[in-house]
Amino acid sequence: MLKTSALMTLGLLLLVIPYSFGTTVTLTGSCPLAVVNSTNNHIMFNLSNTGDGVAGGVTVFPIIKGALTYNSSAYISELLPDQSNTVLIWVSNLTAPGEYVDYFVTRYSQGEQSFITVFPCVTAMQQRSQSMVQVANLNVTKGKVLATLYNAADYPVNASASLEVPPSFNVDRPVSNITISPQSTLEVSFNITAPQATNATFPISFAASYLHNETHYAVLSVTDFSTAPPQSTSSVRLSPPEIIFLVLIVGVICLITISISKKRRRHMKAPASKTSEI
């Protein structure tokens, strides 16, 4: 009985094991669209961790357009699960007024592994501006990103179109100078090379910006680029922790079955009690 109880306890402990495998850090970056000027001369960048793992040694490197930055980086010692933190990027020498697309390169560690991701933000320098150029569609296929732009203005727009990807990716032509005719669409394509041996989803961002009548305009569109192989409907792939868990469960079931079988055999072999005749 003691052995069976021990085996059942071991089985219950094994049920808890999978939950200790592999925590995940999920970071989200955003910027409140507040107008930056000589008085309010900083950009707020919010960083949140919605995962169940701890992001350590978080360093934010801002890439700011339309102004110069005082601090080239900001440091957060750690970001716990369900925790947020705000860093201030101080700026000066503001150039043309209007909206810009800025980027915040974020480096962090999870355990012994280091990761780098990029968060785009629209910022307003001195004033807000409404772009006449909009992203009508952003389509991602294997190794290619196709952006469709629409110019609602009654004048041609000379713009800069760019694609921002994680540092581990390669883009053949990340920036293109384009001209969009009045009230017409234009397609811009980018060829992407993803890192080898990855199975993840990465955010990529497309931006178009231009200057008109001494005011800067910008538009941003963000989508995901997956490097995961197509899922097969005929088979199910298990992760190493799941395989270990299943093997242990099968082993526990086998031990319990063997223990019960031995007890039954001992019971069947026990000598029958004799009755005396008078």
pLDDT in tens, 165-180: 888 888 988 999 999 9
Residue with tokens 């919010």: 46
**Mean pLDDT, rounded, for 201-209:** 89
Burial bucket for residue 196 (CB in 10 Å: 0-12, 13-18, 19+):
exposed
What are the two backbone dihedrals, phi and then psi, of residue 265, each rounded to the nearest 5 degrees? -65, -40
Contacts of 162 (CB under 8 A, 6+ apart): 174, 175, 176, 206, 207, 208
Residue 254 DSSP label: H
What whole-number distance in Å separates Cα of residue 204 and Cα of residue 220?
A: 11
Residue 230 has pLDDT above 70, yes or no: no
Q: Please state the rounded mean pLDDT for residues 100-122.
A: 91
Provide the percentage of residues in the chain whose pLDDT is more than 90. 52
Q: What is the pLDDT of residue 278?
A: 42
Mean pLDDT (the chain, rounded): 82
Helices 2-16 and 240-269: crossing angle in degrees, nearest 10, is 170
- CA 211 to chain centroid, in Å, comes to 32
Q: Is the pLDDT of residue 72 over 50?
A: yes
Q: Are strands 157-164 and 68-69 parallel, antiparallel or unpaired?
A: unpaired
Question: Does the pLDDT at position 112 exceed 70?
Answer: yes
Give CA–CA dist 93/263, Å, rounded: 85
pLDDT band at residue 12, thresholds of 50, 70 and 90? very low
- Give all domains of the chain, ordered by start, each with its CATH number: 20-226 (2.60.40.10)
